[in-house]
Amino acid sequence: MRKVYKMQDLDCANCAAKMENAIRKIEGVEECSVNFMMQKLTIVCAEEKLDAIVDKAVAACRKIEPDCRILV
């Protein structure tokens, strides 16, 4: 399943790359991309694992850039 989320207050392209790498390491994530210019996060994973993966992705992003929010 592919889901796209809007991101808010993502201020740094380097942070976007760090977030993408962190989310890719989450178990169950098949594919991930963070588009800095469009402020979008795309996650591909199994549908039944989506909620848990999104929770972990939000935590990983907060750790890297505390002001950035993923609008779920």
Delimit the domains of the chain by residue range.
2-71
Per-residue pLDDT of the chain in tens (72 residues, 90 and over written 9)? 999 999 999 999 999 999 999 999 999 999 999 999 999 999 999 999 999 999 999 999 999 999 999 998
Alpha helices in the chain (DSSP H): 13-24, 50-64
Closest CA to 20 of 48, 70, 72, 71: 70
Q: Which CATH number fits domain 2-71: 3.40.50.2000, 3.30.70.100, 3.20.20.60, 3.30.70.260?
A: 3.30.70.100
User: For the whole prediction, is pTM greater than 0.85?
Assistant: yes
